[in-house]
Homo-oligomer: A and B are copies of this chain.
Amino acid sequence: MRVLGIDPGIGRMGYGLVRSQGNRLRTEDYGCVETRPGPTGDRLVRIYEKMQELLQNLNPDVVAVEQLFFYRNVTTAFHVGQARGVVLLAARQAETAVAEYTPMQVKQAVTGYGSAEKGQVQRMVAMLLGLPAPPRPDDAADALAVAICHLHTAPTMALVRGRNGDDRFPAGENRRSES
């Protein structure tokens, strides 16, 4: 099982590929792509193309993303939402399943404690992956943590994916044309 963890953002997107090998976990690639300040469209194209490259080169079975409900403010939520939109789009187009986990689920799965501190999570990520030190930058460590979370909790994935649906809106298309 190969899981690509993603920590989306408009300025920085962390990523990390974790694979399970027997009962050991290993990473094959992790890092962080930063986008140049400029028009949002350009930054989104960069994120989208990086996602396409990661999906093609790393060939994950699942993309795991953190599901944040609480942001410092709506502007942050809005910016992260834009980046996350193109991440989910690229995953869906590559026909790769997406699993979403809350920060508490990630902490719980990685450290056994849902309120663990960032440093603890990072040290556990290093230990579980057999790395000599916590991975840098933080965005990459966060991406690896959500990938590990998926591998530790995969049996509940169907349940988690079922919750991604949004039933608030009706279906169908309503369209008019004039010329």
Q: Does A30 contact B (CB under 8 A)?
A: yes
- Asked if A84 and B81 sit within 8 Å, CB to CB, the answer is yes
Cα–Cα distance between A69 and B76 once the two chains are bound (Å): 10
Which of B27, B28, B86, B165 is the one whose CB lies under 8 Å from A37? B165
How far apart are A85's CB and chain B's nearest CB, in angstroms?
Answer: 3
| Identical chains bound together, number | 2
**For A78, what are the chain B residues with a Cβ–Cβ distance below 8 Å?**
68-69, 71, 77-78, 80-81, 84
- Asked if B98 and A33 sit within 8 Å, CB to CB, the answer is no
Interface size, chain A (Cβ < 8 Å): 68
Q: Does A178 contact B (CB under 8 A)?
A: yes
Cα–Cα distance between A42 and B166 once the two chains are bound (Å): 11
How far apart are A109's CB and chain B's nearest CB, in angstroms?
Answer: 22
Q: Does A32 contact B (CB under 8 A)?
A: yes
Those 5 A-B pairs whose CB atoms lie nearest each other, nearest first: A81-B81, A11-B169, A85-B85, A41-B92, A82-B85
